[in-house]
Amino acid sequence: MKTKLKNINPFTKSLSISIPWNDLESDYQNLFDRMKSNYTPPGGRKGKVFGIHLDLFKKNYTSSIESQFAEDSISKYYKAALDKLDLTPINQGKIIDLKFKQEQNLEFGIEFEIKPEFTLSKYDKKFKIQAVKYISTNQDLNDALSDLQNKFSTMKEINSGANEGHYLLVDMQELNDGSPIIGKKMEKQYIKLGFGAFNNDVLDLLSGIKKDEKRNVSLDIKGNKIQYELFVHKIEEQIIPDLDDEFAKTVDPNCKSLKLFKEKLTNNIAENFETEHLKSVNNAIIDYFVNNTKLEAPHSMIENYLNHLVENNKTQQPNMTDEQEKEIRETSKDVAIMNIKWYLIKEKIINKEKIDVSNDDMEKRKKELIDKDPQNAKNIKVFLKDQNNQQKFFDDILNEKLFNYLKKFATIKVDKKKSDELRKMQGEPK
C-alpha cells in the first residue's frame, strides 16, 4: 500500500492511497466466489455456474462486484493508512478520484479533517483579564420580595367595572372597517389593564367595562394600529399577600419571621451575584485564550455544532421553516466558532496539565449537594445514576478544576458596580 498525504489547510488533509492488484486478488476472488455461489443460472441450479453461464455471469455482474469490492476495500485500507500515519479524523471522509477494475490497482483519494495543531498562549507566566462584579443593593431585595408576592398572590373575581391592574379574560375579534375578519379571533385571552398595548388611551377606553360587555379598541401591535372587538368573560383582581411573618413561613417554612427570611434572601442574592461574577471571570479567561491563540475551527465541527443547535430548536419549534433554520445558522455561527475554539484549547490544556476528575472528586461533590439540600437527597442520587447526567456532572467538575488552575496565573482586574447599573442597562427601573 502506498500513501501520500497533502495538507489543504491546518485541519483538512487529502490522503491518496494505492493498493496493488497482487494484494487485492485473493479478497476479490473470495467476493467473486461468494456472489457466484448465490447466482442461479437460467434453467440451472443455484451456485452451479459453468461454461456459457459463467461467461454470462461475468458479463452481467463484474461491474457490481467491482463496485462492492471497492466499497469494502476503501474502509479497510483507509483505516490501515490512518493507523500507519497516526491520524484521527473528526469527520466522515469524502472519497475522491476512485479507480478500480479487476486485475488493476485500487486507487482512491479521501479528504478529511483532524483537530488542528496549534500553539497555546503562554499562561504559566501570568496573564491579565478584566471582569465585572455587581454589588447588590436594597432594591434587589425589594424586587425579589415583590416577585415572591406576585408568585404567591391569589385571584379574586369581581363584578364591578374593571380598573387599572385588573386582569380580564377576553375574546379578541379583529375588525376591518368595523366588520369581523373570519379566522382572526383569539378566544379567552388574559390581558392586564394598564400594561403593554392596554395602556394610555386603551386603558381609558376599557376602564369601567364589566363582565359580558363588548367594546371596540385600537391596539398598537408592533407599530401597527389594529382594530379589535373585545368581549369580557371575567374580571379578576390580584390579591397580593402582606409582607409579614406568615408570608415568610408560607414561602419558606424554615423561616419563622420576616426578618430572618429577608436575611436569608439577601444572602441568596449576594451568592447569585458572586456566581455571576465567577462566570464573568471564566468568560474573560475564555476570551483571553480564544483571542490570543492562532487557531481555525474545523468546518465539520462548526457544521455539527449548528446541526445540533437546529435540532434542539426544532424540538421546541417543530414547524420551523427553512428560512428560520437559515437564520439560526447565520446568527449562531460566530458563537459556534468561539465555543469550538475554546473546546480545542481547553482540551489541550487539560491534557498538557493532566487535569482529571477522580471518583473521590465525584463523591465529594455529590455529598456537598446533598448536604446543601438534604430534603432532595434521594432525587439527587437518582439524578446522578443517569449516564448523561453523570457525564455532565463530571464535565462541570473538570471545568471548575481547569478554571481554578488557570486563575492561579491570572491577574484579575475587578470592576465593581452597583446592581442599579445592571438594571439600568437591562432597561429596568432603579
**Could you tell me if 162 and 105 lie in one domain?**
no
402 CB-near residues (< 8 Å, 6+ apart): 346, 349, 350, 355
**Could you tell me if 394 and 294 lie in one domain?**
yes
Distance CA 337, CA 343 (A): 10
For the chain, the C-alpha Rg in angstroms (whole number) is 34
**Could you tell me if 64 and 188 lie in one domain?**
no
**Could you tell me if 285 and 415 lie in one domain?**
yes
Q: Judge whether 255 lies within some domain.
A: no
Distance CA 217, CA 219 (A): 6
Query: What is the reported pLDDT for 428?
Result: 53
Domain end call among 239, 257, 291? 239
Say which CATH number the domain at 396 has: 1.10.3120.10
Q: Which residue from 188, 187, 184 is spatially nearest to 221, judged by alpha carbons? A: 184
Q: Which residue from 151, 131, 84, 127 is spatially nearest to 292, judged by alpha carbons? A: 127
Strand partners, 87: none
Domain end call among 213, 239, 265? 239
**Could you tell me if 385 and 342 lie in one domain?**
yes
pLDDT in tens, the chain (430 residues): 999 999 999 899 999 999 999 999 999 999 988 888 877 777 666 767 676 768 888 888 899 999 999 999 999 999 999 999 999 999 999 999 999 999 999 999 999 999 999 999 888 889 999 999 999 999 999 999 999 999 999 999 999 899 999 999 999 999 998 899 999 999 999 999 999 899 999 999 999 999 999 999 999 888 889 999 999 999 999 999 999 999 999 999 989 999 999 999 999 999 999 999 999 999 999 999 999 999 999 999 999 999 999 999 998 888 889 999 999 999 999 999 999 999 999 999 999 999 999 999 999 999 999 998 888 899 999 999 999 999 999 999 999 999 999 999 999 999 999 998 888 887 654 4
174: containing domain: 154-239
**Could you tell me if 99 and 132 lie in one domain?**
no
CB 346 within 8 A of CB 335: no
Q: Judge whether 34 lies within some domain.
A: yes
Query: What is the reported pLDDT for 145?
Result: 97
Say which CATH number the domain at 176 has: 3.10.50.40
Query: What is the reported pLDDT for 49?
Result: 65
Q: Judge whether 266 lies within some domain.
A: no
**Could you tell me if 69 and 215 lie in one domain?**
no
- Give the 3-state secondary structure percentages of the chain, helix then strand then coil, rounded to 5: 50, 25, 25
Domain end call among 239, 259, 293? 239
**Could you tell me if 228 and 279 lie in one domain?**
no
Distance CA 271, CA 235 (A): 40
**Could you tell me if 324 and 223 lie in one domain?**
no
Q: Judge whether 247 lies within some domain.
A: no
**Could you tell me if 78 and 159 lie in one domain?**
no
Q: Judge whether 298 lies within some domain.
A: yes
CB 266 within 8 A of CB 141: yes
Structural domain total, the chain: 3
**Could you tell me if 131 and 279 lie in one domain?**
yes
Q: Judge whether 75 lies within some domain.
A: yes
Instruction: Sort 289 into a burial class: Cβ within 10 Å, 0-12 / 13-18 / 19+.
Output: buried
Query: What is the reported pLDDT for 429?
Result: 46
3 state SS of 121: coil
